[in-house]
A and B are shown apart, each in its own frame.
Chain A
């Protein structure tokens, strides 16, 4: 797990995002325990209350669950849940911004579609 803190977002949200990323990448596997608030707090010098707030966001999103007396565990199906959530936000996070930027640059709809196709070709060639 790697934390790259920037100043633009509240720390607890960044904690939640980093944990989500670690679950999605498989660093924290489903049905396995994630590091405790103390461990994360100590390693990254974050107040434990902030870490807990970040974890509670993931509990609310049903990505992790508390097992009494042991700690927090990645829920079975968490990776699929993240993928589902990311697909839903893909449109607002990427497509809408892409269209706005293309319009600012005076790129037509056709040109944008051409560029996307070129992107796919370049990706196929480089693999």
Chain B
């Protein structure tokens, strides 16, 4: 089965290190989430994987062969990004036909079904559509191309709640019918927290989390109780953030708790969801821990 291996990728724009030593593997038939704040380097990373820009160092390989300027590898991936590459005057159907030419085939059945569900007219001109519908056109293309690796950079940009819901449903439907790998970069973490099987979190150009969603959540704790007790209990652990309300403190911990410490009975222990974990991890605090 085909996989993509990204090793020690770095990217500099002038003196600015946008990506530093990024390594990760994309397995077949898996839905990945790529989360990072604005400017963290998500889009740069996706652009490098899809060979739209060159890295300053490191390698992108598909099945142990460099994917850079490798037509066979590139024909097996699709990147949907914020950039609109289509002519304003072109009709949607024409855009689909062009895509078919580029990729050798195109799932017209799925594309037509999705266009109908999203209420997109195929004879409309791309330039006449709203931001949301630009996203929809690109989403439909991303789901209809015959590739094994689909990268979505902010796929739901400009989509209303109903259309986002529809997209998640159709994504899961087509994933079940034709399993392939999706890498989804989004700020709406909560909406896809249960959809993604594996998570990459990127902060200031570095991967800070690379792990299974389930084990990441299992390793994230909110410890709530009297300030002093909470501080004693979490001393020396990887505390990534605090909240203080009067004398009541919540400390967020990412990583193993100390099993030898007795949990004080005035302290409440809960798991933290992905979104909260992300906020605290990328707020400046926290060490690098493998999930």
A42 at the interface (CB under 8 A from B): yes
Secondary structure of the A side of the interface?
A: helix
Q: Which of B146-190 contact A (CB under 8 A)?
A: 168-169, 172-173, 175-176
Secondary structure of the B side of the interface?
A: helix
What number of residue pairs across chains A and B have CB atoms under 8 A from each other? Answer: 49
Q: Which residue of A lies closest to B220 (CB)?
A: A7
B271 at the interface (CB under 8 A from A): yes
Q: Which of B241-291 contact A (CB under 8 A)?
A: 270-273
B31 at the interface (CB under 8 A from A): yes
How many angstroms from the CA of A10 to the CA of B216 in the assembled complex?
10
A56 at the interface (CB under 8 A from B): no
A37 at the interface (CB under 8 A from B): yes
Q: Which of B195-253 contact A (CB under 8 A)?
A: 195-197, 213-214, 217-218
How many angstroms from the CA of A45 to the CA of B192 in the assembled complex?
7
Q: Which of A33-65 contact B (CB under 8 A)?
A: 37-38, 41-50
Instruction: Give the number of residues in A that approach B within 8 Å (Cβ atoms).
Output: 19
Q: Which residue of B lies closest to A37 (CB)?
A: B176
Chain A residues with CB below 8 A from B176, complex form: 37-38, 41, 48
Contact A46 B194 (CB under 8 A): yes
Contact B273 A7 (CB under 8 A): yes
B63 at the interface (CB under 8 A from A): no
**Contacts A10-B214, A42-B169: A48 and B271 contacting too (C-beta < 8 A)?**
no
Contact A10 B217 (CB under 8 A): yes
A8 at the interface (CB under 8 A from B): yes
Contact A44 B175 (CB under 8 A): no
- A6-22 contact mask (Cβ, 8 Å, vs B): 1 or 0: 01111110000000000
Chain B residues with CB below 8 A from A47, complex form: 31, 172, 194-197, 213
Query: Which of A7, A10, A12, A45 touches B172 (beta carbons < 8 Å)?
Result: A45
Contact B172 A49 (CB under 8 A): no
How many angstroms from the CA of A8 to the CA of B176 in the assembled complex?
27
Contact B194 A5 (CB under 8 A): yes
B88 at the interface (CB under 8 A from A): no
Q: Which residue of B lies closest to A50 (CB)?
A: B194
Chain B proximity of A103: nearest CB distance (Å): 12
Residues of A within 8 A of B (CB): 5, 7-12, 37-38, 41-50
**A–B pairs, 25, beta carbons within 8 Å:** A5-B194, A8-B270, A9-B271, A10-B214, A12-B214, A38-B172, A42-B169, A42-B173, A43-B169, A44-B194, A45-B168, A45-B169, A45-B172, A45-B192, A45-B194, A45-B195, A46-B194, A46-B195, A47-B31, A47-B195, A47-B197, A48-B175, A49-B197, A50-B194, A50-B214
